[in-house]
Chain A
Amino acid sequence: MKQVASPRRPTALLLLFGLIGCLPTDELVIAPWEPELAAPLLDLRSQLGEVLRRRGGNVEINTDADGFVTLRYLTEEFSSTAEALLPIPDQALAVVVPGPAAATPAAGEVLQDSAAATLPFTWERTPAAGGPSITRVLLKAGTLRVRAASAFRHDVQIRVYLPSLRRDGAPFALQLDLPFRGERPVVVDTLLSLRDADLGLGSADAPNRFPVEVGLTLTSLGNPIAARDDLQLDVSLSDLAFRRLEGDVGTLSLFDRTRDTVRIRLFERRFAGRILFENPEVRFDLFNSFGLDTEVNVTNVGLRTNRGEDAQLLGSGVDALSSVRVGGAATPGAPPALTSVVLDRDNSNVRDVLDPAPNRVLFVATANTLPRAAGSVPFVADTSRIRVRSEVTLPLDGRIFFYEERDTTALEWPDEEDVRWVDVRTRAENTFPADATVQLYFLDENFVALDSLFDTPDEIIRAAQPPPDGGRTAGPQVTEWTTRLERERYDRLRREGRWLIATLRVRSVDPETLPVKFYEDYQVRFQSGVVVALSTDLN
């Protein structure tokens, strides 16, 4: 079987041969192919609501019935929980019961003795150093260990009684037998769970204490009792975790944030701007779930532009949020107590500091608990903490003197090299009460500007006119323009242009006198088409 070459389009090849046969191929030159191609390029819609939601982040977009937009940028800060702030160290108590005096009791004779002690309950910080003075601990976990060691050569029975440790309302009592089997000491070691136990630690005047009582009953085996014979009792509490504390937790530092921020994403890509909002608001909500008052300091509140410029937010000329006393929760299980501080155009300079369109609100925040007020019984739940919710509220109502965004991107040129000219046609439909100018700068690899698309930036997006009261605009304003890029410019840019900077500069209608409002359904539809004239050498 012979193989035959297998072109994919055999008959097309036949025709091609035929056509070639027609051509006077000697030094025949094919004229340049110079088509003019027209195609739509862009059809982009930017509706205010969609754009804001697309940028996402910590913004809450609220609209009223008319669609007027208010932005709320939220940031929340939490202190550590009380459980983390107040770890309970393991406790260890030792009680010695000396027992009966030295003698040799007759076999079967019963002798008794007892001992009691009130021992300190320790915390990581002592009360004198601002540490807790706790009168009651409701435990959710922990282990009680009782270890008794009898040196008597008699049968011993002990009763351990912890009157301030209760479970299900009953005080803790434990009876242990230590029978003598010829060797001593006789040791008994017992572990008990403290889950849901209620541990009393004294009164407000004498906190951090708990008593231990031990009763001893000795049944003689006829052996002598030496003077050094005794019973040693070790009581320890370990792995303690509280559900609630009562008493004074002292001065706890709840948090100390040196730099917290509220990010205002609306302005994150802004290059420069001057915007005057009519009714901006910066608000701090302080939630306290401790059962005692705390003091919160939010200081050095500043607004920062993306150029690193800061402006300080002042309430009535001072730092309005220093030393705010935040009341405690009323009862265990009740919602956290809320204290709010609002800075608005009437009590602060918030309008002025928002003017450069900052994208961050910075502040330093500290909080600590305050000493117990006389007569109160403060409490702390294991989950108690301080929550600081920072909020910047921007009703989109104001004046834009200018607002500029810039974007830099690497230039990718299409493969086609022989471009004679390019016509760019653009149409913009705008319902915003703001003009926009656009400019494209072409830069070389060293970011040196080579050219710009327009000789002077034109208002390629003209503002829709609002009514005199600054309300909703009537309808879209249409702007159309065409610009041509000739071959010489195109070739140079293609050869040297590596970067493109696009700038968008927005200005509201008559910003000196007229505040305008922005509604959710405001949009810009930007359409563009190109006609490209090519020239291709087919030879």
Chain B
Amino acid sequence: MLRLRLFCLLLGLTGTARAQSDLLLLTLPPTLQTTSVSPSMVPSSRFAVAIPVLSGRASGHHSAFPLRAVVRNDTLDPGRGLDRMNRNNLLAVDAHLDYLFAGVRLRKWYLTLSMSEHAEARAAYDGRIAELLWRGNAPFVGQTLSLDRLEGQALLYRALAVGVAYRHDDWTFGLRPRLLWGRAALRLHETDLRLRVAEGLLTAEYDARYRYDEAEELFSSDLDDGAYILPRRNLGWGIDGSVTYEGLDAWTFTVGWQNSGRIYWNTRTSTERFSRSGTYTGFTDEDYDGTETLTLQRVLDTLEATFLTDGTTQRREGFGTWLTPRLYAASRFALNDEWALGGAVQAEFYDGFRPAASVSATRRFGRLARGVVGYTVRSRDFTGLGAGVVITSGPVELHVVSDHVVSLFALQAVRSAHLRIGCNILFGGKPGGSAATAGTQWSRSTQ
């Protein structure tokens, strides 16, 4: 039952909070969670251990409209959202949970080991597909619908990461290779739909194809607990990297990439391909042998056979899925011992280039707490007011950060949601330093 509980916990995190990519976290003085922070960001403490399961992140983003746009007077009306979609909409859902984290600083080296569970889903779609589904094809009569943007991918995987950071003068180089185990995946891709329904007699020209891959190793009935905890199939790789520069007095600059990698699915897989094209003019003489009565049902059966059943082939074959990589750059400027300003830009690569940007201000409240407020813009979403707090008590550091605070209180009103929590135990450092340096900078803490 262990894996079921863990999975349910992931579901819970995914279902109750939404966020994007921890942009504020990039601008905070580093906290420990390795799955989102830069490999070259080093805490000031010599030893660090994260409390299992209490650290994790959940986020979500729908670029087209907030939920409130389609819910009014207790009525969910998907039609209201159609006009707010464009031809490139993104639905993103992420969640991860840290099972294990430990880090140690040895002179110029900083080594980490972590294990985490990830769920990430992306769907990119042309808004006209939703319109086609909701309003039917009659509004498009006379038009040629060319819908090649309908891609989707959902992955559930586990990652074992070993992080190495090395300090050289004002530069810190970090690299975090990851070993990945795929648990479950589905992917819709190679999609191309062209449809033209002519005016008049509504003759339909169509050319449709897609590929759907699926793997469900996690749900295999012959999966024992040992294989569940340390899977041996559907292996993959990942690597994160970054560089941090601290050569200017009050400035810290970091550039890097995260979440690059690929999983090779080879167990309990299935692939369905669909390809069909032609012109459908209706029930023809070729469909009618003249011996039976021509009924409406026979006509409808022919219509259904043409568009819904023919053209599908299914096979069991392996496939590979890329993770959703991100490039980012972040900087922080310390105004004084209490205040610091930060900024970050990021680009996520899924069915194109999807940028985001964030600015923030951080303040230290004594030795016990730091607070951050920020503003994030991403994919037509300008409601990204963020906030976070880091509380340090003895060796225990607890942080709660959200890029979209509004989502915590009015989920229906926003396009993006985010929540990140973490609880760590730190030894041998100087927790609760200035706003610019507290708990973070290698140079400040070790020099």
Contact = CB atoms under 8 A, between A and B. Distances in A.
B403 to A, nearest CB: 17
Interface string B198-214: 00111110000000001
A38 B137 contact: yes
B154 interface: yes
A4 B281 CA distance: 49
Contacts, number: 182
Interface string B147-163: 00000001110000000
B154 A28 contact: no
A2 B15 CA distance: 26
Interface in B267-283: 280-283
Given A6-B221, A414-B296, A425-B201, A45 B285 contact: yes
Interface string A1-41: 11111111111101101101111100111110111111111
Contacts of B145: none
Contact of A28 (B74, B200, B224): B74
A2 B121 contact: no
A43 B284 contact: yes
A14 B136 contact: no
A44 B154 contact: no
B75 interface: yes
Nearest to A47: B285
B186 A40 contact: no
Contacts of B3: 4
Contacts of A191: none
A37 B411 CA distance: 34
Given A24-B71, A527-B201, A42 B299 contact: yes
A412 interface: yes
Nearest to B67: A22
B202 A529 contact: yes
A427 B296 contact: no
Most buried by A among B4, B220, B222, B300: B300
A33 B76 CA distance: 11
B349 interface: no
Given A39-B303, A414-B297, A31 B76 contact: yes
Interface stretch (B287-295, B323-331, B382-390): B287-295
A355 B138 CA distance: 48
B121 A14 contact: yes
B204 A40 contact: yes
Given A21-B16, A528-B282, A10 B216 contact: yes
A533 B136 CA distance: 9
Contact of A38 (B74, B134, B138): B138
Contacts of B127: none
A10 B133 CA distance: 24
Nearest to B153: A11
A292 to B, nearest CB: 48
A414 B298 CA distance: 10
Given A23-B67, A36-B136, A414-B300, 18 more contacts: A5-B219, A9-B214, A10-B184, A11-B154, A17-B15, A18-B11, A20-B15, A24-B71, A28-B75, A30-B77, A38-B141, A40-B280, A41-B283, A410-B295, A425-B201, A528-B201, A528-B282, A529-B282
27 contacts: A4-B223, A5-B219, A7-B219, A10-B216, A11-B155, A11-B156, A11-B186, A15-B154, A17-B14, A18-B93, A21-B16, A22-B60, A23-B67, A28-B75, A30-B75, A34-B135, A35-B135, A36-B135, A37-B136, A38-B136, A38-B138, A38-B202, A40-B280, A40-B282, A409-B293, A527-B201, A529-B200
Interface of B: 1, 3-4, 10-11, 14-16, 18, 60, 67, 71, 74-79, 93, 119, 121, 133-139, 141, 154-156, 184-186, 197, 200-204, 214, 216, 218-225, 280-285, 288, 290, 293-297, 299-300, 303, 411-412
